[in-house]
Every structure is written in structure tokens, then in C-alpha cells.
Amino acid sequence: MQFQDLVSKNKEDWLKVVKHPFVDQIYRGELAEEIFKFYLLQDHYYLNQSMRNMAILISKAENLKEKQQLIDILNLEANVEFAKYQELLEYYKLEAKSAEEMELTYSNLAYSNYLLAVSSQAGFAEGMAALIPCYWIYLKMAEYHQHKLKENDNQIYQEWAAVFNSADYKRLVENMLAILEKNLTEENFKKINYHFNNSIKFEYQFFSDVYQKKVWKI
């Protein structure tokens, strides 16, 4: 079994994420600033949880090479993406809040806790399968919308997009895919696909809630 089998099987769903209006508009420079600011605050929480999740996966990695690769990715997350978010929050004079102090979207709370639950309670391969859409889909988004940046005169959105369009980022994602592929078998494919698909759906819902600025209310 190969990563490509997961890609084909889930194509209809992941293309919906890639083509979500939030993504199209950010690459065109047309996304309303209010929505972007809302995304930043929600995503700040998500990234914090995502770093915890990576730490769990690092602890479960099978060998030194996999550990080193995952540590590199955590390093990128902490020192590139998360650092960029801190800068952006300062630029917009926004203050990142803890979960108890902010209103989260339902999908943000559900997705970040889903990742932590799979990583801590299921095996290493399942944890990787649940986590990979988060990285891989941002690469697919970059590939699909990159050409729109030429006419995008929003400097902030350009900088945001640049994080996911570097050779370094591509290499890190490819390393993750190789780790998953090594752990993919006929026997575990169904389970792996289940987690991969759930996270793709969570990515869609994350954008969808943010696009509507829809916090969790009953």
C-alpha cells in the first residue's frame, strides 16, 4: 500500500478543502481582514495543541531517523509557523488567549482533541495518518493556488502563503509521507484511511466555521 492509495481514495474530500472559498480568497488577496484575524486566533490555539501532539508522536517514533525528522518538523512548527503567527497577532494588535478565555469553534476543539486522542491512544501509524492531512493539505493548497499570488497585493497574505511554498516545507512533508508509507500495510489500510479521512473532514470544517466566524454555541 502507498500514500497514493490514500490520495486517490480521498480525492473528492481533499479537493473540497483545497477549493474552499477561504483558501481561494486568501491566495487572491480578497479574504476579509476580519475573517483572517478570527482564523489567526483560532489557529493559534490549534497550533499550540498541534505541537503537543507532535511531541507525543516523537515519543512513539520507531527509530532515531524518524525521531530526528519529526523533531525537525516540530522545530519548523515552533520557530517558523508559530513564530509567524505571533508576529501577525502583534501586527493586528490581537492577543492570543487560552482556551478558557476565548470562544473556540466546535471544529477547532474537536479536531485538536481528536489528534491528541489518536496519538495517545492508538498506534504510531494511526497517529501519523491523522496528523498528515494538516501538513499535506497546506502543500496541496499552495500547489493549486500559487499562481493567484501574482495578483495578490496583500503583503500579509503573501507572507502567510510563503511559509507553505518553500522547498524546506515540501521536504518536511515528503519525509512525513515516507514515514507513514513505511508503516502502511494491507492489514492496517482501513484504519489508516479512517483517520486520514477524518482529519481531511476536520480541515474542511475548520475553514468552514472560521469563514462564518461561527463559535460553539447551543
- CA separation for the pair 29, 157 (Å, rounded): 6
Interacting stretch for ligand VIB, rule CB under 6 A, among 4-12, 16-24, 118-126, 132-140?
Answer: 132-140
Contacts of range 93-96, beta carbons closer than 8 Å, 24 or more positions apart? 94/37, 94/40, 94/41, 96/41, 96/44, 96/45
Smallest distance from ligand VIB to CB 58, Å: 14
180 near ligand VIB (CB under 6 A):
no
Q: Of 32, 204, 35, 16, which is closest to residue 108 (Cα–Cα)?
A: 204
Q: Is 174 in the site for ligand VIB (CB under 6 A)?
A: no
3 binds ligand VIB (CB under 6 A): no
Q: Which residues contact 87 (CB under 8 A, 6 or more apart)?
A: none
Among 23, 36, 40, 43, binds ligand VIB (CB under 6 A): 43
Q: Which of 76, 88, 177, 179 binds ligand VIB (CB under 6 A)?
A: 76
The single-letter DSSP state of residue 150 is G
- List interacting residues with ligand VIB (CB under 6 A): 43, 46-47, 50, 76-77, 80-81, 134-135, 138, 203, 206
